[in-house]
Structure 1
């Protein structure tokens, strides 16, 4: 339902009416999706979808012998949304999250 509200020309009221839910409930779900707390299904598309990627050097960290790779994070920043994920997060999950954020218009 949330994905349907993101289609061009769609309104929350029309989609809510189509599925028989209250518009304010659908709006709440949209808010959760924008916060990354609700992951939308991947959009099926015939064309490849690309997302801009910015790679930058991390700030120098204080030397430490007891840090493991799992302590490091993957940070995804899209507009005002920042997600921090464990470095060992599977690539498939990262792709799902990025697709969901793109679909949410972040």
Structure 2
């Protein structure tokens, strides 16, 4: 999930906890960010968990046509200019890992974000 501030800052986290004056963002049991309530715009679920031995969760941003994949290893990658149909195909695939290898890997520019 992500906590998004009014200034557009995005804090990537696994879990959030409400504090006295703001939202604490956690990843791996450690605090990775803090957003004061007066500057917090919203919290968004960014990926959908999937049942796969290689992929933990998948998300998609329609505005930027960006596919985000979290692997079981803990790495998170963003793939650019991915059509929505590819994202929907990945979500609906019988084997998410096979679909990824056949339809995403090596076909889109990407960057590791964690």
Q: TM-score range by the shorter chain?
A: under 0.3
Q: Which has the higher strand share?
A: 2
Give TM-score, length-normalised by structure 1: 0.24
Give TM-score, length-normalised by structure 2: 0.23
**Could you say which structure has the greater relative contact order, defined with CA pairs below 8 angstroms and 6 or more residues apart?**
1
Q: Which has the higher helix share?
A: 1
